[in-house]
Amino acid sequence: MAPQLTRLILIFVLATTLGATSLRAEETPNAVRAFTEHCAECHGGDRLGRMGPALLPENLGRLRKPAAIDVVTNGRPATQMPAFGATLSDAEIAAVVDLIYTPLPSVPQWAMPEIQATHIVHNPLASLPDVPVHDADPLNLFTVVEAGDHHVTILDGDRFEPLWRFPTHFALHGGAKYSPDGRFVYLASRDGWLEQHDLFSLKPVAEIRVGVNIRNIAVSSDGRWVMAGNMLPHTLVILDARELAPIKVISVVGDKDQTSRVSAVYTAPPRQSFVVALKDIPEIWEIKYQDNPKPVPTGFVHSHRPGMIEGTFDFGPFPVRRIKLDDYLDDFFFDLAYRNLIGAARNAKNGQVINLNVGRKVADLALDGLPHLGSGIIFDYEGRSVLATPHLKQPTVSVIDMTSWNTIKRIDTLGPGFFMRSHENTPYAWVDVFFGEHRDAVHVIDKRTLEIVRTLRPAPGKTAAHVEFTKDGRFALLSVWDDDGAIVVYDAATLEEVKRIPMRKPVGKYNVHNKITFSAGTSH
């Protein structure tokens, strides 16, 4: 079937399915009007989520109505959720909150048949060239996500010139992922679409809708699988990485039959597994993806003997190991050996270290103020490995010893930060001041002294964020987050501006080499 006809049929099916979930006539008219005017652009007129998450009782189990009223009134730190206290009356806010806690007549199912119906292969792998059609270094390309008009630019990291710009689905999630050889880039949008593009031929390969509202994706270290974690429905979807054919749907269900949104999924290369954090169940899941995984009996292994593993296991392909925690885990990253997972919960009170070998928490971290550990970095300081992370609710960067798990230093900044980046070949770490009046500032921290040595303001009055380095670490690329924005290239040694490339709100940029080598200075 021709791709155009397939797409038309898909649009009709989606319109028919989602149309059944529109707001009910008996809902409070003021609530419907207020929601449509102020909320629908981000959360969808059907409340199934777009750039923002779905707003349904099934997704709001951890947020009580008084807390939801406070969020609508005052906004939510560390998100794009604005405050409506000066725009809507108390009665209107209460009506909107009542609305989002009202079940829809039906929530669309998005299981294997629905997923398969959306699969489109634009350019089969067999039709693609064996070598790049361009002369740029394939490992020094950047994927730049331009949220201003929903496009992606592939940027040459040596010449700092665009090679290819293409449209994407709505509200693309910033985190691009690559095949292990760097040839293919995989992108996920908030409305559930997953895309694969070829960086040799500069052509799209395939696309598929894996859910109604997706959180993020990961690519296995052997390049065979892609895993997508969904906010709605509460599932994990495993796909063949070659052309995104769906392989398996895993329901995210706890011991008491409660389901959970996925808050993060990453690959752990030495472990040959995906690791998943859950928003609504205090567990993390580890899912092996190597060939013919050895079966492990279901149940708990109550032993503290060396070499024994604690957790709950399932039989079959892609077995799920469930590690129970004391608290919910929203964000995390790994140590360099992938033995320990360092995570933070949305309670903004502390962090925790989970040893994946023994399957339990081994340390608490003094990390209040909601650290953005998904943006944490690792570097050597005075002969020891340390992690550094900004805080989403506090003007500080925490530096923590990764042996004792004690805090070495808290570096005061001009405001809460979102992204922190470095590179093995530079003595500096860069952190933005994403929230507040100083959002146009970026601090440069000397990793040798843990002191701020320079504060840059590339575009006064406009948000500056998300630094990424070229593969050799010689240049740092920074985003001006504005519809009339830019990528600003700095010499990483002199900290002087080298070039400015106009872009439409470039929210993130991802270097192929740094991502596929799992550089300690960038997110994974």
Q: What is the DSSP letter of 513?
A: H
Q: Which amino acid is at 411?
A: I
pLDDT digits (tens, 9 = 90+) for 199-223: 999 999 999 999 988 999 999 999 9
Cβ density class 207-229: b for 16+ within 10 Å, e for less: bbbbbbbbbbbbbbbebbbbbbb
The proportion of the chain whose per-residue pLDDT surpasses 70, expressed as a percent, equals 87
Q: Which band of pLDDT confidence, cut at 50, 70 and 90, is reported for residue 190?
A: confident
Residues 286, 289, 291, 297, Cα dihedral to 10°: 20
pLDDT digits (tens, 9 = 90+) for 337-349: 999 999 886 665 7
pLDDT digits (tens, 9 = 90+) for 457-512: 999 999 999 999 999 999 999 999 999 999 999 999 999 999 999 999 999 999 99
**486: closest CA among 508, 505, 510?**
505
Residues 521, 484: Cα–Cα separation, whole Å: 28
Provide the residue ranges of all domains of the chain, joining segments of one domain with +: 21-100
CATH fold for domain 21-100: Cytochrome Bc1 Complex; Chain D, domain 2 (1.10.760)
